[in-house]
Structure 1
Amino acid sequence: MLGLSSRNATLAALLVAAPVLAAAQEAPPRYSEVVRSSRYIAVRDGTRLAMHVYRPAVNGRPVAEKLPVIFAFTPYRGRFRDKDGKIVETAQSAELGLKGMTDHGYVVAVADIRGKGASFGRRRGMQDRTEAQDGRDLVEWLAAQPWSSGKVGMTGCSYLGGTTVQTASTAPPHLKAVFAGASDFDKYEFVRAGGITGQFNTRPEDPLSVDLATLPLDEDKDGSLLKAAVAQHAANDPMALLWNTMPHRDSVSRYTQTRFWEEVGPYTYLDTLKRSGIAFYNWATWHDEPAAQVIIAAANLNGRLLMGPGSHCEPPPGVDLGQVQRAFFDKHLKGLDSGIDRTKRYRWWVLDAPEAERWVESDTLPGVGVTRTALYAVGGKSGTVRSANDGMLGMGAGAAGRDAFTTDYDVASKEYFPFWPAVLDEKGLTYTSPPLAADVTVTGFPIAHVRVSSDQPAGNVFVFLEEVAPDGKAENVAFGRLALANRKLSKAPYDTLGLPWHSGRQADVMPVKPGEAYDLAIALSPTAKRFRAGHRLRFSIRGADPRQRNIAEIERKPAETMTIERGRATRVEVPALQPIRFATTK
């Protein structure tokens, strides 16, 4: 057991070591051959989308049995040649858990979304209703084929996870189960949390040469159809400009002429998703920005959850993602007793825990029911001073005081896609605790409360919870962000697990008066982390972050100076399973 404190003793029965994720010993593969075919499918408006179908085969011929279908809907090309000339096929992806799925009696289908790969058409907007309806049309086409049992499941991670949920939001009659990784539930909250645009979906568009590396379909003998399709992609709406030109949740896009954040937010269709009867399995990793969205989606869709370590769409170590999916799909598409019903609904990895305690199984989502411990920003030096801006983090509020920093916009990252925030403590204020007297397991969403003022009529606040090793090396554990103008708290249209929520609607934006202090409440990203004895906790605050791709556009000159007021108003509340105790220091 994890040594829970009495205040969290009710969780003791829910938290057990779970190093093996297989629901049951599955049957051996039935087939060893696969036959691929590809063709264009015309959806409701006549647009032709590229579809690849992989069927189990015996002696080179597809089996006659009607089988359930696993469908992936991708913007990244279903079948293409990489820079070394090697053929890459999404249907054979081990990372997505698709490799070998045909061996176990499934048909695998992969289609390019409109405006990408070998598909015709223009992409109006990432995961818009056009794309969602395309997914519905393709699901129903797959269900109607003579080799299909009529039951379809969808799978994917990142954008592909998003297409599964978007398709589900149209409630196709034959879509029975969705296995979605690293996707969002509230697109505004994901891309523009706190009113601040982050990195996701804001990168430059791929050149058309990427789509031209797609392999032509079977009927396109000379590649002329591929060239004609890719020529239409030149009219795609630019994703970065689409997001960056909609500052508010209810902004009307100049490209789509709709409230696009709401159009593409799955929460908008929550009632339809709940009534659809579709089974949901959500997964992600702790060191990835969609982690919060995946947990919120599981809470609202009554889905299963798998959270691993690692980065974006990285399968957990030692876990056969295909086997996990098959246990899920075997139940919902084949009606088999796969053993999944005898496992708890939620499974997650505890970072830096001993090997025997790395996996946790529970019927309660991570952090639900866990008491948060408030750690306050107080004055004085922490004992691990790295600059004049380094204060202490302690159990008591301490005397009132103020600390100031000037936003440093020189935070650009050398990484093209920095999935996890870098430690840049020298760019702002830090408050560091004494060393921990014993290990502490943190599970769930920390919450930051900051009382802050700006010397200009604007300002952004980025907050971080870090672990600091005895040698002084720091690691980011959780993070959040909020624009001062977006500080108003609102009631969310979905279950936020009690976390503070800011609507981002234009009517809720509030003026920022220079020199006036405001109280901010910021939900940090979730984690499950063993903070080790002898290590310290650090609360870091700054005004800019490398994952803002548009820093050059938003930088203010001169930069704003932000003042943090210490005392009870500035603290980080940590969901700790054990009492936080600090060692006595000299």
Structure 2
Amino acid sequence: MRIRTDFPYETTHEDIRIPLPDGTRLYARIWRPVTDEPVPVLLEYLPYRLSDWTAPRDAQRHPWYAGHGYASVRVDVRGHGNSEGMPGDEYDATELDDGVAVVNWLAQQPWSTGKVGMFGISWGGFNSLQIAALAPEALKAIVTVCSADDRYDNDVHYMGGSVLAVDMHAWAATMLAFVSRPPDPAFVGDGWRQMWTDRLEAVDPFIHTWLAHQTRDAYWRHGSVCEDYSAIKAAVLAVGGWHDPYRDTVLRLVEHLPGPVRGLIGPWSHQYPDRGLPPGPAIGFLQETLRWWDQHLKGEDTGVMHEPRLRAWISEPHRPATVHPELAGRWVGEPALPSPGITATPLGLDSELGTDTPGGAHGEASLVPVRSPQHTGVDAGRFFPFGNDADLPPDQREEDGRSVCFDSAPLGRSVEILGRPKLRLRLRSEVPRGQVIARLCEVDADGASTLITRGVLNLNARLGRDRVVTWDPGTTEDVEFELNGIGHRFAPGSRIRLALSSAYWPWIWPAPDADGWSVDVTESTFELPVRDAEHEDDFAIAFEEPEQSEPLGVVSPETLDAPRPERLVVRDVAAGTWRLEVDPRYGGTRIYPDGLEFTEDALETYEIQEADPLSARTRSDWTIRLHRPELGWDARVQSRSEITCDDTHFVASNEVVCRDGEEVVFHRSWEKRIPRTAG
């Protein structure tokens, strides 16, 4: 990593409040080049508190952009951080309308050329896309990183029509803790406590809303830009990582956006690609985005529109491990999607892929039963890898043993895939509900099994995510679904493995009567997007080394407490119970240059009995402390969130306690029973 201090422009920064049409003021920090000439503006718009939580990350990039001739602006969403107003649901109409107003305000400033770009990762990438779909005239280009075009089926809530237990719950619990944090008196003054208590009275746990919409209805269509790609007029650079759950959005945007678009998918996790967090290699991402901004906001021909429409990383074969500092591989370019160089290649489950699992279900020799124990999935790894040591899936041999596996013969040559594998299955089920989970693995000669990608189908959503169609017990139907996209090369001598299971906890919340199903292997195929590696294109894809502006200087002090494991699996052999404990490790304790002491601690717990789908239980506990000794300010937030179930309802329980010093200023508990309509 190169730390850049010699920029074309000297820079300055200031904190301001941007007025909205209804009189609410949003807290903003602006870095600007020292120049008498107006400059284009870049906007990052988030609820994550610019004065503390994202401040270290903001310091890496906003001053860098300012040093290259842009006004770079970081704004807190209404009701968060030091912004006024009440918090709302994620990406609600108010948030997006406010974003449009901010874009227009920035375009009208005397130091602005009137041309605005938006960028962000995750939440900021989402609302960059969504605000682009509202098409404010001043918004000319965006860079959206690790975001989704489909809020229902490519976000943290549902996957393949099934409830994502692992992040539906964990993210709702995280946001309950986050939204309960107070404004900072160092920035808003003595009114901080009234602002805080007003906000807290408006809080309602997100999980109530998310679980109330178990199909892809109007709630999820709002903000899903896949509803109308043509609404986006701005130029779009879509960026993702093969270890980020949102990477399929990059493939769809590249294929469907009618305007200027380029896609970039590397080996990365849910991080900006310049940060150097596993898996690498990192790239000079700020330089790459500068080419995008210069092209579309300054009118310079930087060559970005001569790049292939998609630049993607093809990973080399690698051993299973929960962390890879770097993955071997290479960059390839595709001029269009679908690509003429990628062929959908079907593999028969009874021919090219085979299994030793006995068939004979219902007296039919071609039917293979799939009846997975409910704890199948404990080795799935983190849904959102952040570059931590325990994020990625370990060796899949134990998971494979809980599944039905179909293996190819040892490969006689390399096989390279790029895109989304597709599974077509003929299934028979004796119960009205269930799930299909498919994992694609590469198996080495010694049996080590590396997870390459996976996919899920809720059988009740087989005819569309917008409806619930239960299975007629005892009947046979054909279903199909895609696995998540991937770029990977299988090595000669290894085997391609398709592993099928009927459970995947804690990623997927089990159906109440989950009893598995049977697959007709003679009428089922697995389709791989095989790329012709012999036909290399003329694109020479290379990136500069990563560079950033000077770090903020945040200190993470050592403590006497021994760190707990990031991911711990506990098995009660006699009870048949499995418990997964996860420390998400968002930040721990840190001390900021302005004296703020910020401490946060979280623990997620997922528990299930291996033979009982109704035993599924999730819990998340958060503790946050914000302390300014020089002001005598000591604010604390504690939250607890749980979800349990019976055969007809989810039960969501939440509690928040907030303190100013030792005084409790807010304490509320919620408990809500939510019908299981599709989940």
**TM-score, shorter chain, exceeding 0.5:** yes
Residues 1:576 and 2:551 are matched in the alignment: no
1:205 maps to what in 2? 174
Structure 2 residue aligned with 1:71? 43
1:504 and 2:465 are equivalent in the alignment: yes
Q: Conserved in 2, the CA contact under 8 Å of 1:79 and 1:89?
A: no
Q: Does 1:447 align with 2:422?
A: yes
Matched, 1:285 2:244: no
Q: Does the aligned pair in 2 maintain the 1:91–1:109 contact within 8 Å?
A: no
Contact 1:375 1:571 in 2 (8 A): yes
Quick check: 1:39 aligned with 2:16?
yes
In 1, distance between residues paired with 2:250 and 2:475?
36
Question: Taking structure 1 as reference, are residues 481 and 55 closer, same or farther at Cα in structure 2, changes over 3 Å only?
Answer: same
Shift in alpha-carbon separation, 1:40–1:314, aligned structure 2, 3 A: closer
Deviation track 1:30-75 (CA, whole Å, cap 9, x = no partner) reads 12x4322222223233333221111124xxxxx3321111100112
How far off is 1:237 after superposition? Answer: 4.1
Using a 3 Å threshold, how does the CA distance of structure 1 residues 223 and 271 change in structure 2: closer, same or farther? farther
Q: Are the counterparts in 1 of residues 242 and 266 from structure 2 also a CA contact under 8 Å?
A: yes
- Which residue pairs with 1:313 in the alignment? 271
Residues 578/175 of structure 1: CA separation in 2 closer, same or farther (3 Å cut)? closer
Find the residue that maps to 2:252 and give its secondary structure: helix
Query: Structure 1: which 5+ runs fail to align?
Result: 1-27, 58-62, 251-258, 392-398, 489-502, 581-586
What CA distance in whole angstroms lies between the structure 1 residues aligned with 2:358 and 2:331?
A: 35
**Within 1, Cα distance between the matches of 2:335 and 2:115?**
28
Matches within 5 A, 1:287-306: 287-302=243-258, 303-306=261-264
Q: State the AA in 1 paired with 2:270.
A: H
> What does 1:4-83 align with in structure 2 at a 5 Å threshold?
29-31=7-9, 33-57=10-34, 63-80=35-52
Name the CA distance, whole Å, in 2 between partners of 1:464 and 1:533.
Answer: 20
Q: CA deviation at 1:187?
A: 1.3
For 1:494, the equivalent position in structure 2 comes to none
Tell me if 1:473 matches 2:448: yes
Which residue of structure 1 lines up, in the alignment, with residue 457 of structure 2? 482
**Residue 215 and residue 261 in structure 1: after superposition, are their counterparts in 2 closer, same or farther (change >3 A)?**
same
For residues 356 and 579 of structure 1, the distance between their equivalents in structure 2, rounded to whole angstroms, comes to 16
Give 2:529's aligned amino acid: P
* Paired amino acid for 1:242: T
User: CA separation of 1:416/1:541 partners in 2, compared to 1, >3 Å: closer, same or farther?
Assistant: closer
Residue in 2 that maps onto 1:378? 350
Question: Do the aligned residues in 2 keep the contact of 1:447 with 1:524 (CA within 8 Å)?
Answer: yes
* Aligned AA (1:287): H
Does residue 515 (structure 1) correspond to residue 474 (structure 2)? The answer is yes
Change (3 A) 1:535 1:563: same
Structure 1 or 2: larger strand share?
2
Kept in 2, the 8 Å contact 1:421–1:546? The answer is no
Distance 1:36 1:231, change over 3 A: farther
Q: Which residue of 1 aligns with 2:492?
A: 533
How many residues are paired up?
A: 495
- The SS at the match of 1:504 is coil
Letter matched to residue 345 of structure 2? T
Superposed displacement of residue 91, structure 1? 2.8
The alpha-carbon distance between structure 1 residues 99 and 359, as it changes in their structure 2 partners (threshold 3 A), is farther
Kept in 2, the 8 Å contact 1:281–1:298? The answer is no
Using the alignment, how far apart are the partners of 2:353 and 2:453 within structure 1? 23
Q: For the residues of structure 1 that align with 2:474 and 2:480, how far apart are their CA atoms? A: 19
Say whether the 8 Å CA contact 1:72–1:111 is kept in structure 2.
Answer: yes
Deviation at 1:295, TM superposition (A): 1.2
What are the residue-to-residue correspondences of 1:136-285 with 2, within 5 Å? 136-191=100-155, 192-198=158-164, 199-200=166-167, 202=169, 203=171, 204-208=173-177, 212=181, 215=184, 218=187, 220=188, 222=189, 224-225=191-192, 228-229=195-196, 231-250=198-217, 259-273=218-232, 276=233, 278-285=234-241
Q: Does 1:105 align with 2:69?
A: yes
Partners of 1:408 and 1:368 lie apart in 2 by 41
1:336 aligns to 2:300 (yes or no): yes
CA distance in 1, matches of 2:498, 2:296: 44
Query: Structure 2 vs 1, CA of residues 56 and 579 (structure 1 numbering), >3 Å: closer, same or farther?
Result: closer
Is 1:560 aligned to residue 515 of structure 2? yes
1:401 aligns with 366
Compared with structure 1, are the counterparts of its residues 79 and 518 closer, same or farther at alpha carbon in structure 2 (3 Å cutoff)? Answer: same
Q: Distance in 1 between matches of 2:31 and 2:62?
A: 11
Between the two structures, name the one with larger relative contact order (CA 8 Å, sep ≥ 6). Answer: 1
Question: 1:233/1:36 Cα in 2 relative to 1: closer, same or farther (>3 Å)?
Answer: farther
Secondary structure at 1:510 match in 2: coil
| Preserved CA contact (<8 Å) 2:445 2:494 | yes
Tell me which amino acid in the other structure corresponds to 1:195: G
Q: CA deviation at 1:298?
A: 2.2
Query: What is the aligned-residue RMSD (CA, Å)?
Result: 3.1
Q: Secondary structure at the match of 2:134?
A: coil
The answer to whether the 8 A contact 1:454-1:562 is kept is: yes
Q: Alpha carbons of 1:433 and 1:269: their partners in 2 closer, same or farther (altered >3 Å)?
A: closer
Decide which moves more: 314-323 or 343-352. 314-323
Aligned to 1:410: 375
SS at match of 2:94: helix
Q: Residue type matched to 1:512 in 2?
A: W
Instruction: Tell me the TM-score normalized by structure 2.
Output: 0.67
Quick check: 1:413–1:546 contact (8 Å CA) kept in 2?
A: yes
Q: Tell me, what secondary structure is at the counterpart of 1:264?
A: coil
Listed as ranges, the gaps of 5+ residues in structure 2 are: 1-5, 274-279, 319-326, 386-391, 535-679
Q: Report deviation, 1:200.
A: 4.7
**Residues of 2 paired with 1:100 and 1:455: CA distance?**
60
Counterpart Cα distance in 1 of 2:474 and 2:328 = 52
How far did residue 217 of structure 1 move? 7.0
Q: CA deviation at 1:412?
A: 6.1
Q: What residue identity is the alignment partner of 2:375?
A: D
Residue 194 of structure 1, CA deviation: 2.5
**Residue 306 and residue 193 in structure 1: after superposition, are their counterparts in 2 closer, same or farther (change >3 A)?**
same
Of residues 426, 438, 446, the one that matches 1:463 is: 438
Identical aligned residues as a percent: 29
